[in-house]
């Protein structure tokens, strides 16, 4: 009797732990699979991978986004939210940060996200660019190249309100005149 009860309890906890591991791996599997991740990658690219970026999906309203985004809000207009994400400070004289801009259409639905990641030097820029290429390749497959030689990936998301699937693109670009990387998400 004791062994049967022990086996049931053991089996239950083994099953529960397996489910927890499966769900945890599903949500951050691609991000966690990136080899030699830069702290600029791991600190900023967080959230459930079922979303577009940082637990945000397209088609959300400004109010919904404000509840989700934890960075510092700098500017808010009728069709635009501007946030700054600050990285933990290090020993350098310059601070690294990311400007994140969310653009809304005439129906107050999010349809463009840009993230400009400002770094201190070309080594950090190269590592982050490699991390992003690896991450997007794992998540979306091989990119296409646009007319400007930018890598562009195609993704899709399921809108929670309408239950419809929508497509979007992710473009990886260089920052002009600064060290860093620019990422642009556009709903199609």
pLDDT higher than threshold 50 for residue 18: no
pLDDT higher than threshold 90 for residue 11: no
The mean per-residue pLDDT over the stretch 172-177 comes to 92
pLDDT of residue 48: 85
**Please, which pLDDT band fits residue 16 given cuts at 50, 70 and 90?**
very low
Q: What is the pTM of this model?
A: 0.81
The mean per-residue pLDDT over the stretch 10-38 comes to 60
The owner of tokens 């497959």 is: 141
State pLDDT tens for residues 74-113. 999 999 999 999 887 765 556 789 999 999 999 999 999 9
pLDDT of residue 24: 40
- Closest Cα partner for 112 from 120, 121, 102? 102
Mean per-residue pLDDT over the chain, rounded: 85
- Report the alpha-carbon angle 68-27-66, nearest 5: 5
Distances (CA, A) of 79 to 26, 113, 149, 175: 33, 12, 29, 24
Write the burial class of residue 124 (CB in 10 Å: 0-12 exposed, 13-18 middle, 19+ buried). Answer: buried
Contact (Cβ atoms closer than 8 angstroms) between residue 49 and residue 27: yes
For the chain, the first-to-last Cα distance in angstroms comes to 61
């Amino acid at each position: 009797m004791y062994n049967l009860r022990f086996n049931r309890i053991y089996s239950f906890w083994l099953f529960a732990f397996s489910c927890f591991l499966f769900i945890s791996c599903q949500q951050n599997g691609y991000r966690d699979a990136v080899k030699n991740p830069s702290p600029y990658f791991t600190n900023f690219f967080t959230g459930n991978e079922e979303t577009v970026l940082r637990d945000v999906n397209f088609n959300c309203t400004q109010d919904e986004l404000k509840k989700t985004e934890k960075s510092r809000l700098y500017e808010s207009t009728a069709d635009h939210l501007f946030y700054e994400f600050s990285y933990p400070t290090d020993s350098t004289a310059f601070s690294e940060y990311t400007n994140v801009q969310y653009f809304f259409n005439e129906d107050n639905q999010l349809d463009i996200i840009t993230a400009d990641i400002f770094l201190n030097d070309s080594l950090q820029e190269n590592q982050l660019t490699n991390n992003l290429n690896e991450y997007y390749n794992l998540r979306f497959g091989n990119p296409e190249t646009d007319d400007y030689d930018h890598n562009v990936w195609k993704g899709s998301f399921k809108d929670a309100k309408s239950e419809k699937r929508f497509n979007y693109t992710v473009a990886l670009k260089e920052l002009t005149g600064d060290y860093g990387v620019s990422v642009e998400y556009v709903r199609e």
